[in-house]
Amino acid sequence: MVNNEYLFTSESVSEGHPDKVCDRISDSIVDIFLAADPYARVAVETLATTNHVTLAGEVRGPSSVTAEIMEQAARNAIREIGYEQKGFHWNSAKVEVLVHQQSADIAVGVDAAGNKDEGAGDQGIMFGFACNETPVLMPAPIYFSHQILKGLTDDRHSGVLKHLGPDAKSQVTLRYVNGKPVGATSVVVSTQHAEGVSQEEVRAMVRPWVEKVLPEGWMCPEDQLYVNPTGRFVIGGPDGDAGLTGRKIIVDTYGGAAPHGGGAFSGKDPTKVDRSAAYAARYLAKNVVAAGLADRCVIQLSYAIGVSHPLSVYVKTEGTSKVDEQKLSKVLQELMNLSPRGIREHLQLNRPIYARTSAYGHFGRTPEADGGFSWEKTDLVPALKSAFKA
């Protein structure tokens, strides 16, 4: 039996959330290495707590990227986010760099040699998804959750909302009828604020952005708009809760509306299929929906470490396809080489474009002139339409 009416919820967190601070620092390290050498290898994790940051992991790249440069990158990221608080300050925090050279055992499996093409940097399964609920072909709950926080962050940086702090979370619950979202039933926003600012004042700052982001007529009932429901949120960021790289994978992707393979993105160079293949799967799924071949599309890819081709390519349109799914899978594999090398070259991923992905989602973003968010392009649409005479 089809569930014709239901509620679905997704959450987002701001760039100042402890885990997102760590994602930002890890991706800043990736960018530094790729700027120095487009083929550098990076797998760097970050831990942040009260006035302390630890970087750990393995790299293979130019010696010019020293521990001191990595430490400064971490401080720059914290400063740009806006942390100048007693318990977490870009200048006074202790930054420990425990980064070492990549394992030779991993390198031999990944590197191209002789007749062997470049292999995947790890085993795993990756998912991509797209749907026609929003103009950017993302599920509506996660899209609106991101937009609320992004708007508040922009106003904080500009000084319009100078009493708000960097740490914030949002949660949007939408009512669906016949598979389509029709309105919000509740919205939750918790945001760090300066000492002495009341809950009512914070609500007055937040409410306009909720109204602006939600479509006309979608606003939730007033008693279902929860702003700082605990009443106080002065201590935040890593001072309030320890952060780690890679703990917000559902926030990073589809808000729970589609499967996730389990691998985090931040801190990893594009030979790691956890990242690059997830981008490729989103790219293909988005082009399928953009071409009008389906209303929803899930794509799964699987890889083995050191193996240059995907072990499986699975396409599912959840009953919304206007074309044969088996043929669609075949056509997609003809349009894009899904080996690790093929993905990197097609999407031009060997560039310092990753720090910007670390907050407000890796998907549903606008492709940028320097190659950022290249996986959001819909340049396969003409070929897909041609293949299916659509």
Instruction: Point out the catalytic residue in the list 60, 156, 272, 344.
Output: 272
Structure tokens at 37: 């050498």
Orientation angle between helical segments 18-36 and 67-81, nearest 10 degrees:
130
Active site residue 242: yes
330 is in an annotated binding site: no
Q: Is 274 a catalytic residue?
A: yes
247 catalytic? Reply is: yes
Whole-number Å distance between alpha carbons of 297 and 380: 15
> Does the annotation flag 356 for ligand binding?
no
Q: Which of 24, 60, 146, 268 is labelled catalytic? A: 268
Question: Is residue 333 part of an annotated ligand binding site?
Answer: no
Is 232 annotated as belonging to a binding site? Answer: yes
Residue 362 assigned as binding residue: no
Q: Is 241 annotated as a binding residue?
A: yes
Per the annotation, the verdict on 268 as an active-site residue is: yes
> Is residue 194 part of an annotated ligand binding site?
no
Cα gap 361→178, rounded to integer Å:
27
19 is catalytic: yes
Q: CA 136 from chain center: how many Å?
A: 14
The verdict on whether residue 385 carries a ligand-binding annotation is no
Active-site option among 36, 242, 304, 383? 242
**Is 45 a known active-site residue?**
yes
Q: Is 168 annotated as contributing to ligand binding?
A: yes
Phi and psi torsions of 48, nearest 5°: -130, 135
Say whether 224 counts as a known binding-site residue. no
Contacts of 104 (CB under 8 A, 6+ apart): none
Contact 250, 134 (CB under 8 A): no
Contact between 385 and 74 under an 8 Å Cβ cutoff? The reply is no
Is 167 labelled a binding residue?
A: yes
Asked whether residue 122 is marked as a ligand-binding residue, the answer is: no
181: closest CA among 379, 372, 10?
Answer: 10
**Which of 15, 19, 133, 269 is labelled catalytic?**
19
Q: HEC states along 239-284? A: HHCCEECCCCHHHHCCCCCCCCCCCCCCCECCCCHHHHHHHHHHHH
Residue type, 263: G
Q: Is the dihedral of CA 76, 78, 81, 84 positive or negative?
A: negative
| CA gap 238, 87 in Å, rounded | 8
Residue of 77, 5, 18, 47 whose CA lies nearest to 248: 18
Catalytic residue among 156, 248, 316, 344: 248
Q: How far is CA 172 from CA 69, 207, 258, 347, 358, in A?
A: 39, 13, 16, 32, 20
Q: Which of 17, 41, 146, 150 is catalytic?
A: 17
247 is in an annotated binding site: yes
Of 8, 127, 144, 233, the active-site residue reads 233
What's 339's DSSP letter? S
- What whole-number distance in Å separates Cα of residue 353 and Cα of residue 356? 7
Residue 180, annotated as binding a ligand: no
Q: Is 17 a catalytic residue?
A: yes
Q: Which residues are annotated as a binding site for ATP?
A: 17, 167-169, 232-233, 241, 247-248, 264, 268
Query: Could you list the active site residues?
Result: 17, 19-20, 45, 58, 169, 233, 241-242, 247-248, 268, 272, 274
Q: Which residues are annotated as a binding site?
A: 17, 19, 45, 58, 102, 167-169, 232-233, 241, 247-248, 264, 268, 272
Q: Which residues are annotated as a binding site for Mg(2+)?
A: 19
